[in-house]
Amino acid sequence: MSTPTTMPLSTTMAIPTNLASCVDWYETNTLMAEVYFERMDFESNVETPAYPVLYLLSDIGGQMGFWLGMSVISLIEIIFFFFNVFQCFCCPSKISDAKKIDNEPNTHKESSPRKLSSPESCLL
């Protein structure tokens, strides 16, 4: 196998101006290469995120629910608790009336009716 040699193109070389000499120049100074592919198929590389943002937010919410114990039932209980505390501060007379009805002598409860004097007694 012979090693290819390159010949530097001289800047003083004249560029042919007529068609016949131009074709002769290209026949001597160009190379024709035929390229054959082993297979006529292609590969397509598509980049997708390995961990989308939606999955990240979902996992953060799941971990918060696991570690903090936050769930729909817990939130409802918290809302119910604040509603009861609000009711104790705003309407203590209604609460004491309801307790008096519950503590009537006809019921089987042995406790005596109490007056609500402070919000702490509402939570008992």
Domain ranges of the chain: 53-122
d(CA 24, CA 30): 10
Phi and psi at residue 21, to the nearest 5°: -70, -30
Lowest pLDDT segment from 25-34, 73-82, 98-107? 98-107
Q: Under 8 Å CB-to-CB from 122, ≥6 apart: which residues?
A: 84, 85, 87, 88, 92, 95, 116
Q: How far is CA 58 from the centre of its chain?
A: 7
Residue 109 burial class via C-beta count within 10 angstroms: exposed 0-12, middle 13-18, buried 19 and up? exposed
pLDDT of residue 90: 84
Q: In the chain, pLDDT over 90 holds for what percent of residues?
A: 15
pLDDT confidence of 55, banded at 50, 70, 90? very high
Instruction: Kindly tell me the number of DSSP H helices and DSSP E strands found in the chain.
Output: 5, 0
Q: Which residue did the predictor score with more confidence, 38 or 79?
A: 79
Phi and psi at residue 14, to the nearest 5°: -85, 135
Taking CA atoms, 21 is separated from 10, 18, 27, 32, in Å, by: 17, 6, 10, 19
CB 64 within 8 A of CB 70: yes
pLDDT at 103 over 80: no
pTM of the model: 0.27
